[in-house]
Structure 1
Amino acid sequence: MAHKLPDYYFRVRENGAFVFRVDTENRQRRIEMDQIAVVNIRNGDIKPHGDRMLSEQDLETIKTWMAERIQVLARRDIDDIHRAVDYLNTTTQWVQSKASDEQLDAVTDDLLLAMHDLRSVLVRKKADRLMRQKD
């Protein structure tokens, strides 16, 4: 038995997606994708494509996708930060054990400035959290 395709396809873009309705029930038995909307997950906009009117099912499916997409992106954000911690650790090991003087000259100032900036923001944010807990 062939796998049934979903009724909707979301072509992801930076801040949302183009939404297509998938149709395989046609005489040629081809997959047809009809764009029905453009969504923006940053501001929650759902704009119908052209003069199209979106059905309740369309809107419900789009809103469900948007909520799931926001969760996926949030998980990716924290995963990226955990990777950054790993990169900092491997960078430290590289600096200590493998880096040549020329390589260190090429990256030291950029690394020091980035780490200083990160440290300043982290210290300020932690102080803000501690002050809120005190109140």
Structure 2
Amino acid sequence: MAGELPDYYFRIRENGAAVFRVDTENRQRRIELIEIAAVNVKNGNIKPHGETKLTQAEQKLIADWLAERRALLERRDMDDILRAVDHMNLTTQWAQAKASEAQLEAVTDTLLLAMHDLRTVLVRKKAERLGKAEAPKAAE
């Protein structure tokens, strides 16, 4: 392997990660991963593995990783939404220029329901935001 190995490794899981201490200082000179904790990204819980006692440095390392992971996932969510907007535009072009009647028949109801549902949520959320913005003005 090229370069130095990190002291800790985070194995990504669906809702977080398993945290391992990387050990290369052993008789066989093998890389050993010693599980020390599990992290839940959604609620921020950090659970030491087994009888492991996390040092303050390890707790800080895990908390820093957690903050970076949450920021990364938030950026990915926004990118996914912007890609969805692009895909909606491509779908519109497809429906207008390329789709056969059979293809349109196969997808129209599903698309209309999904778009109606999305529109309903977006309009409600926009109204909530506007209501919150106007509330401080009314108090003045």
19-28 or 34-43, larger mean C-alpha shift: 19-28
Shift of 1:61: 0.7
For residues 131 and 53 of structure 1, the distance between their equivalents in structure 2, rounded to whole angstroms, comes to 48
Alignment of 1:22-41 (within 5 A): 22-41=22-41
Residue 94 (structure 1) aligns with: 94
| Superposed displacement of residue 43, structure 1 | 1.2
Deviation at residue 134 of structure 1 after TM alignment: 1.3
Q: How does 1:11-22 map to 2 (within 5 A)?
A: 11-22=11-22
Residue 26 of structure 1 and its aligned partner are, at CA, apart by: 2.2
Q: Deviations over 1:13-36 (max 9, x none)?
A: 111100000112223221111111
Aligned to 1:132: 132
Q: Secondary structure at the match of 2:19?
A: strand
Please give the alpha-carbon distance, in whole angstroms, between the structure 1 residues aligned to 2:61 and 2:98: 52
Distance, in Å, in 1 between the alignment partners of 2:75 and 2:118 is: 21
The CA distance in 2 between the partners of 1:127 and 1:60, in whole Å, is 40
Distance 1:46 1:3 in 2: 29
Structure 1 letter corresponding to 2:38: V
Which letter maps to 1:18? A
Number of equivalenced pairs: 135
Residue in 2 that maps onto 1:109: 109
* Cα separation, 2, equivalents of 1:29 and 1:98: 61
Q: Over aligned residues, Cα RMSD in angstroms?
A: 1.3
In the superposition, the TM-score normalised over structure 1's length comes to: 0.95
Query: Residue 121 of structure 1 aligns with which residue?
Result: 121
1:77 aligns to what SS in structure 2? helix
- Give the equivalent residue in structure 1 for 2:4: 4
CA distance in 2, matches of 1:45, 1:82: 30
Write out aligned runs for 1:74-93 (5 A): 74-93=74-93
Alpha-carbon distance in 1 for matches of 2:116, 2:55: 52
**TM, length-normalised to structure 2:** 0.92
Alignment of 1:54-93 (within 5 A): 54-93=54-93
Unaligned regions of 5+ residues in structure 1, if any?
none
Output the CA distance in 1 between the equivalents of 2:59 and 2:128: 40
Q: Could you tell me how far apart the structure 2 residues matched to 1:134 and 1:35 are?
A: 51
